Amino acid sequence: MAEPVRVGVVGLGWWGHRLCQGAADGKALTVVSCYARTPQTRDAFAEELGIRAAASFDELLADADVEAVMLATPHSTHAELIERAAQCGKHVFVEKPLTLTVAEGVRAHQAALDGGIVLQVGHNRRRQPANRRIRQMIDAGELGMVHLLQGSVTVPKDQVPRPGWRSDPSESPVGGMTALAIHLVDTYRYLAGPIERVAVFSKQLWGAGRLDDITVVALEFARGPLGYLGTSIVLPRTHTITVMGTSGIAWSDDDGEHLYVQDKEASSRTLVETEPLDTIADELAEFGRVIREGGRPETGAPEALHAVAVLEAVVESDRRGGGVVDVREFGG
Amino acid sequence: MAEPVRVGVVGLGWWGHRLCQGAADGKALTVVSCYARTPQTRDAFAEELGIRAAASFDELLADADVEAVMLATPHSTHAELIERAAQCGKHVFVEKPLTLTVAEGVRAHQAALDGGIVLQVGHNRRRQPANRRIRQMIDAGELGMVHLLQGSVTVPKDQVPRPGWRSDPSESPVGGMTALAIHLVDTYRYLAGPIERVAVFSKQLWGAGRLDDITVVALEFARGPLGYLGTSIVLPRTHTITVMGTSGIAWSDDDGEHLYVQDKEASSRTLVETEPLDTIADELAEFGRVIREGGRPETGAPEALHAVAVLEAVVESDRRGGGVVDVREFGG
């Protein structure tokens, strides 16, 4: 096994912690440094993990011992931080969405190419064993001609308004779409190819915070199928995808922990056993492997840019009050 | 128990048979006469059930022994047949949709009022025990503030094109919407009130027949929640509704045979036992009871007109290529 890649983590909220856990479990990365704007935050984080705290992002990048960075910072900061890391030759793992606009994402992608670095985006949910198996079923023709993808992802987190950047509409446009349902967009693309058209209804109904708390999107895939995704930040936790084809239907329920299938002749679904997988550890193991061994990550900038284009199209449809928007207008 | 109401059944395809079975099981109706345009069809049907075959709809209506009619004829015929029955003082049970346009539905409704007859529409699916229980949960506040209704209904019937009026686009506009997903529209209204806006993608993808074979609708309820419905006539059989509120989620799966709930703190759903119910027998028992005892049926013309308005709005959105359409434009 190759020597672990030495990484610095930037953005030290709950997700920064989760990434460090995943890095350790994936065994391909060693976290050696961290940075957050607030000195107390980074000092406490560094002490907890027994690592260095950098006094600035530049100091972290200047550290010759750091080969790569993991970014769990506000969405709007991603492009600039990726550019700066790339200029210093540091590889980047960045949380989804890559950026909030395709223009920013293209800048980040170009910077990564220019810097010769690996840029990987944290679209981990497609790695859920149920989603992997559904993709195999589609490729093997077991579902027949895919006609419909339906899914929703909901969390109750914003029933009481949360402090911090995640609750800022400029960081999370269209409510749960930006941070949550972007996972569905990537998994949909993995299963059925690019999304071409969207029509959106999104609003505040619970109204405790500043974000939309309920969103529905009708969509059409370039290959032909239709689809739907729904998301909310004030509803009990769910994460489910249904893929319906002419020969069978498959469900990835409970965030891909449970796979169900129903064939053409059946009238109800059957549970199919799958092995659990820590998708964070899995994606970070890939990040280390690609850095050491070459190749490109499964969800790099090209894949992530499609999700950003869909996000921009959803924002635009919402702005228009629900009209149909073509994702290709945004480069998707 | 009151004497059963003597009915004639009109439209003798598979659904005419199903209604006669439901009438017998509901015990409030006795089928005494039948009519279909094809003499062989009505003669065979009459012989099978041991009832009279009328030589024309007028002859059936002129039969003083017939108190009411059950209509399972093509959708486009409903308004005229209801008017003629009402003019003869015969009560009418008509299959959904009431009509294909609100204008026709209003005519039928007025004729029923003028004739002093009971007009009931076969929106039976809301009667599924799971749907009844979900309504109770909503009314009792157990789901909190309802934010999202999701559902889909699919059948594989048109993978091979079927003969007959059901496969005619003028009788079944927007594919599965007219005959199948109209059930979701009624159940949604039962659970969350009228639908106010729709945005539709619908198309032929399998393309074996003349109907759209895949349809998705994003929608907004007048009371605030958002929703989605999907339907297809070329996919394995499913019928599911999910109602998501801030305090809990309920699923009516397998056409209301299975009820699942998940409360706010849970991370997955739990099966709740319900008693099975023959919803056709149940609605036809109500039809007989209202005729004998007075009152009005749960799904009369006023309720059914909303579903027709939504259908018209869906047809219009599809015609516009997916734009948002306000159901109130159609009187809904």
Q: Would B160 be classed as within a structural domain?
A: yes
CB contact under 8 A, A263 and B236: yes
Average pLDDT, chain B: 96
Same domain, A165 and A312: yes
Domain identity same for A57 and A112: yes
User: Which of B150, B214, B235 minimises the CB distance to A230?
Assistant: B150
At residue A56, the pLDDT reads 98
- The answer to whether residues B107 and B65 belong to one domain is yes
Q: Are residues A320 and A287 in the same domain?
A: no
Residue of A nearest to B217 (CA): A218
Residue B196 lies inside a defined structural domain of this protein: yes
Q: Are residues B82 and B102 in the same domain?
A: yes
| pLDDT higher than 80, residue B192 | yes
- Choose, out of B214, B233, B255, B260, the residue to mutate when testing the contact with A (most A CBs < 10 Å): B214
- B303 in a domain, yes or no? no
Query: Do B170 and B247 belong together in one domain?
Result: yes
Looking up tokens 């006669």 gives B20
| A323: nearest CB among B201, B244, B324 | B324
What average pLDDT does range B273-294 have in this prediction? 97
My answer on whether A245 and A177 are in the same domain is yes
The reply to whether residue A235 touches residue B199, judged by beta carbons under 8 angstroms, is no
The length of chain B, given as a count of residues: 332
Give the count of domains, chain B. 2
Are B91 and B184 part of one and the same domain? no
Size of interface A-B (CB pairs under 8 A): 171
Q: What is the pLDDT of residues B120-132, one digit of tens each?
A: 999 999 999 999 9
- Does any domain span residue B302? no
Same domain, A244 and A100: no
- Produce one character per residue of A41-61: b if its CB has 16 or more CB atoms within 10 Å, e if not: bbeebbeebebbbbeebeebb
Per-residue model confidence as pLDDT tens for chain A (332 residues): 689 999 999 999 999 999 999 999 999 999 999 999 999 999 999 999 999 999 999 999 999 999 999 999 999 999 999 999 999 999 999 999 999 999 999 999 999 999 999 999 999 999 999 999 999 999 999 999 999 999 999 999 999 988 899 999 999 999 999 999 999 999 999 999 999 999 999 999 999 999 999 999 999 999 999 999 999 999 999 999 999 999 999 999 988 889 999 998 888 899 999 999 999 999 999 999 999 999 999 999 999 999 999 999 999 999 998 899 999 999 86
Across the interface, do B147 and A262 touch by the CB < 8 Å criterion?
no
pLDDT at A268: 86
Same domain, A87 and A182: no
Residues of B in contact with A241 (CB under 8 A): none
| Chain A residue numbers touching B262 (CB-CB < 8 A) | 236, 238
User: In CATH, what number is assigned to the domain containing residue B292?
Assistant: 3.40.50.720
Q: Could you tell me which of B126, B69, B75 has the C-alpha nearest to residue B105?
A: B75
| Other CB atoms within 10 A of residue B48 CB | 12
| B155, B223, B235, best to mutate vs chain A, most A CBs in 10 Å | B235
Q: In sequence order, what are the beta bridge partners of A240?
A: A152
CATH of the domain at A254: 3.30.360.10
Q: For residue range B83-117, list pLDDT tens digits in order.
A: 999 999 999 999 999 999 999 999 999 999 999 99
| CB pair distance less than 8 Å for B244 and A227 | no
Q: B322 vs A321: CB contact, 8 Å cut-off?
A: no
Which residues form the domain of B28?
A: 5-124+280-297
Residues A242 and A295 in one domain: no
Task: Name which of A284, A288, A294 is nearest A4 in CA terms.
Answer: A288
pLDDT exceeds cutoff 70 at B332? no
Chain A hits for B322, Cβ within 8 Å: 197, 199, 218, 324
Supply the pLDDT for residue A331. 85
Asked whether the beta carbons of residue B150 and residue A152 sit closer than 8 angstroms, the reply is yes
Cα B20 to chain centroid distance, Å, stands at 17
Check B236 against A216: CB less than 8 A apart: no
In this structure, are B245 and B161 located in the same domain?
yes
Closest residue on chain B to A250 (Cα): B236
**What residue of A is the nearest CA neighbor of B248?**
A236
